[in-house]
Every structure is written in C-alpha cells, then in structure tokens.
Homo-oligomer: A and B are copies of this chain.
Amino acid sequence: MERRATIKDVAEAAGVGVATVSRVLSGGSASPQTRERVLAAAAQLDYRPSALGRNLRQRRTGGMGLLVPDLTDTFHAQLAEGVLAYARSAGEHVVLGSTAGDPEQESELIGMLLEQSVDRLIAVPSGDEETWAPAIRAGMTVVFADRLPARPSSDDDPSTTAVNDLMLLDGLSSAVRPRPLDVPSVLADDRAGIRTAVRYLRGLGHKRIAFLGGPGHDRRVTAFREAVGAPVDEELVVFGTGSRDSAYAAASGLFQSRPDLSAVVAGGNVLGEAAVLAARELDLRVPRDVSLVMYDDVPWAELCSPPLTVIAQPGRDMGYRAAELVLRSGGRRPRGVVLPTELIIRGSCGPHR
C-alpha cells in the first residue's frame, strides 16, 4: 500500500500552508487563486483527507452505530436499509452490530463503539435500561427504534433499594427507582395496529384470540390485552425467546394446548413464520381452522397460501427517520416519532366457524 498523500504533501505542492489546504477543502474562505491551486494540487495528488487525523483531532469518529438483534429478521433488514439510505445521503458511515437479542452481547457492542468513539447510535434494544445507562452516561446520542428497553424490575436487586447513607433521599418513595431514560425513539403505532387487528378479528366473529409474542413485544402485548379486554385468557398469550426454534415451539405449544382458539396475532414476522409452519404441521388450515394476522409486512407474506393478512409497519422509513434523528439532534433532545401502521387484509383471516 503506497503511502497516500497527506495534507502536508498537498500544501507543499500548492505552495501554501496546511491550514489553508484544510480550509479550502472544508469550504472555508480563501482567495480564488489560492483555492484554485490547492484544488489542483489535491486533484493532482489524488488526495483524500484521512478521517483518522480529523477524528482524533475532533475526539470523535463520524458516522453512527446500528445495533439490531438479527438481520435475518426481515424487519430488521428493512430498518437497516433505511438507516443506510439516510447515512449514505449524509455521507456518513454505519458500524453494524447484531446482538442476537442478548443484552450481554449488546453491552459488549456498546463498549466497542465507545472505544471507537462512535458517539451516535441507533438501536433496536435487547437489554433493559440498566444495559443502556452506560451508553447514555458516556454521552452517546442514542435513538431507539422499534421498541424501548424494558424498565429494570424494581425488585431485581434488593440491595439497590437499601438506603444509602450518602444518598440524598427526597422522601418521596421508599423504592428508589431511576427515572426513565430520556432517549428519543422511532416507533410504530403498535397500539393502534394491534387494536385494529383485534377488532378486525372480532368482527369476523372470533372470540378466542391468541397472541404470540417475542422479546421486545411488551407494548404489543399490552395493546393486545387492552384490545381484547378483561378478563384476558392468559393461556392464550405465549412467548418465544427470539430464535426461530423457540418461536416454533411457542406456536406449536399454543395450538396444541388450546385447540379451541380460532385466531392468532403474531407479534412479529419470525413468529408469524412459526405460526404458519406449526399450523401446517398440525394440519390446521389457515384460515379455515385458524385465522392469522402477523405483525410486519415482508415480501414473503404474499407468497404464503393464502397470503398473510398483516399489520404493516414502515420498517425502512423507521430506519431512515432514526438515522435522521440521530444525526441531526444538534444539542436538542428531540422527542421521538411514532409512525402509523396499516392493516393489510389478504387471505389469512376468515369468519369464525
């Protein structure tokens, strides 16, 4: 690798000082002729400013980090494409990490980004607020996408609720709970999406509607409970851990333990996939025996027979907006964004029989 030209080389070639080169190249003021000469010299030497020097000087790497649980989940891929699209238009780079939904890996990746001085980060979080506190404390600009980190359970670690004698108690509550992270986010309107789906199924005559959830689907479950109304049949609310296998296990278990259910709402495309597979395996026909609506619109939803009715969320847009937020938050702390979902009716839901 032959040494690349440095700013010094350009300065010499143009017969000016390095500062002038820097100025010209970053659009500062300079006399037309100086500018001309610098530009010529730079072109001549095929000069490309090194981000290394600049980064060190400015104590920060440009670009942004992007942390998702799993790229083979098409929704995350869509989100990533959105982020990349905005980043490209802004001339910034993206450092990608995939966490497998594991808070520990997430922490490590945050640490890695910190080490690289990447101080902007978009994440589909897996860990809870405790996982994320270090990043915030370190001064990273963080934007959450698709979901928020869980509040740490208040009785998780009793020792933290013990009175610390150096701590100024404001006498409000005995359980001292940190206040929620103040981080902007780009979310889909899960509540509306789920509600619409449940109402749709209700309108079709379904009474026993199940919810198949995964990690990070808390807001969706809550919306589901709310939409079906009390009393909620808790056996009809089941969870996988994020992997395709566990999603399949959850779906299959659900179908087998509650053959009386007539519809299921899958909280994400991996769970929807599992539901279709499990139903087929158990010889349940969709929608004859069971109606299915899946969160996430993905290209293959249309390939199923029948094509899947879905709650579409704009994955790509969400990524795009998140990147926009994380790059343009100039000191301000913009509040998050909630994007609309849409119920796309295809063929996987039928009347209750």
Binding site for B on A (CB under 8 A): 1-2, 4, 48-53, 55-56, 59, 61, 63, 66, 70-72, 74, 77-78, 80-81, 84-85, 88, 91, 93-98, 105, 108-109, 111-117, 119, 138-140, 244, 273, 276-277, 298-300, 302-305
Contacts and interface: CB of A to CB of B under 8 A. Distances in A.
A239 B81 CA distance: 24
A97 B84 contact: yes
B115 A2 contact: no
A115 B50 contact: yes
A146 to B, nearest CB: 16
Contacts of A95: 63, 93-96
B94 A97 contact: yes
A59 B52 contact: yes
Nearest to A74: B72
Given A117-B50, A117-B52, A139-B2, A78 B84 contact: no
B304 A277 contact: no
Contact of A72 (B1, B105, B299, B302): B299
Contacts of A51: 61, 115-117
| Interface hub of A63, A78, A98 (most chain B Cβ within 10 A) | A98
A136 to B, nearest CB: 10
A296 to B, nearest CB: 12
A85 B112 CA distance: 14
A139 B2 CA distance: 7
A311 B320 CA distance: 34
A162 to B, nearest CB: 24
Contacts of A53: 56
B55 A52 contact: yes
Contacts of A298: 300
Contacts of A244: 299
B72 A78 contact: yes
Nearest to A96: B96
B48 A114 contact: yes
Contacts of A97: 84, 88, 93-94
Contacts of A48: 111, 114-115
A196 B117 CA distance: 50
A-B pairs with lowest CB-CB distance, top 6: A1-B139, A300-B300, A305-B305, A96-B96, A71-B77, A52-B56
A116 to B, nearest CB: 5
Contacts of A94: 95-97
A231 B114 CA distance: 60
Contacts of A303: 273, 276-277, 300, 303-304
